[in-house]
Amino acid sequence: MKEYIIIPDIHADIDRLERSLTMAGDTPVAFLGDFIDAGRLTKQVDEKAVLSRVRRLVDSGRAVAVMGNHELNAILYHRKGADGAWLRAHTAVKTKQHRSFIEAFGVGTKEAKAWTDWFLTLPLWYELDGLRLVHACWDDTAIELIKARRPDGRLHADDLPEVAAATSPFGKAVERLLCGPEVLLPSGYMFHDTNNHERHKVRLAWWRPEATTWREACLSVPNPDELPSGAIPPDTAALLYSADASPVFVGHYKMIGTPCIEAPNAACLDYPARPCVYRWRAGEGLSAGNLISLDVQKAC
């Protein structure tokens, strides 16, 4: 029986990585991306140790890994376009988000470039042994569009200006897989995010096929009462993952609360305050019993 330990966003936390690998033992590992850029819940920041450990596992065949949006952001941050401008603007906000990587490797240095070259070897998605892996969203339409140019799902340097602009169908497809879908709220509605900024677009929990209302289908809304109380429109409902599709795992969303399985064939594993991994076995349905907390070392 094929088996993997699926590990979500590490964000430069060597302590979390080592605990995750301890849970894996000799079982093959599948990473969901976002290895870099420490967050406020990162306990032990070590960009070099995390990247070196992950790369050794991937290069040896002991692990597979997909690209996360932070890896893509780093690729763009450390490269310039034909006009001489950085492909990802070096604004204060973006530089702060990328600070731990910059502190470890500098900006546009040989070492930073070498690591971002390696990021380009990571595919945008994996589908193997009946299992699907993607950082933020499995979207068949976006994947088929990317496959037409890059059958193996790996970006080339020539793609980067288009990906940075995110205005072409190809660029938007890459953004969908690594950042997930956002949908516009109905006219007259907005919500306040965790920084009290007004937002008119909202993240969609696309893995919840039973969601029918805005409050059931949306993510990262501190006060759900600000959302419409009615049903989501058909074009939004069409973005939800089919209940008969293959099992898929994602990270990215910084979920809160106790880790759980929200759908029979799809799961987000990114719970920064309650880190966990998932023990996946081919032929089995998703089960809460296979969701393993790193803190208490038992099923969540």
CA 93 to chain centre: 20
At 176, is the pLDDT very low, low, confident or very high (cuts 50, 70, 90)?
very high
Q: Do both 58 and 104 map to the same domain?
A: yes
Whether 126 and 194 share a structural domain: no
Residue type (1 letter), 209: P
Choosing from 223, 238, 253, the residue where a domain stops is 238
Q: Are 86 and 77 in contact (CB under 8 A)?
A: yes
Q: How confident is the model at residue 197 (pLDDT cuts 50, 70, 90)?
A: confident
Q: Measured between alpha carbons, how far is 15 from 46 in angstroms, rounded to an integer?
A: 9
Question: Which residues have CB under 8 Å from 270's CB, separation 6+?
Answer: 8, 9, 32, 250, 251, 252, 253, 254, 255
Which pTM value belongs to this model? 0.93
Kind plus residue range of the DSSP H or E element containing 134:
strand 131-134
Q: How many domains are contained in the chain?
A: 2
| Selected residue with higher pLDDT from 129 and 87 | 87
User: The domain that contains 53 carries what CATH number?
Assistant: 3.60.21.10
Pair (135, 204) in one structural domain: no
- The band of 289, judged by pLDDT with boundaries at 50, 70 and 90, is very high
**pLDDT grade for 300, boundaries at 50, 70 and 90:** very low
- Looking at the structure, do residues 175 and 187 belong to the same domain, yes or no? no
- Tens of pLDDT, residue by residue over 21-69, are 999 999 999 999 999 999 888 999 999 999 999 999 999 999 999 999 9
End-to-end C-alpha distance for the chain, whole angstroms: 23
What number is the average pLDDT over the span 103-120?
98
Residue 297: predicted pLDDT: 43
Domain that holds residue 228: 182-238
Q: What mean pLDDT value characterizes the chain? A: 94
In this predicted structure, the answer to whether residue 225 has a pLDDT above a threshold of 90 is yes
What b/e string do you get for 130-160 counting C-beta neighbours within 10 Å, with b at 16 or more? ebbbbbbbbbeebbebbeeebeebebeeebb
Nearest to 285 by CA among 270, 271, 268, 265: 265
Specify whether the backbone of 37 is left (phi greater than 0), alpha (psi in -120 to 50) or beta. left
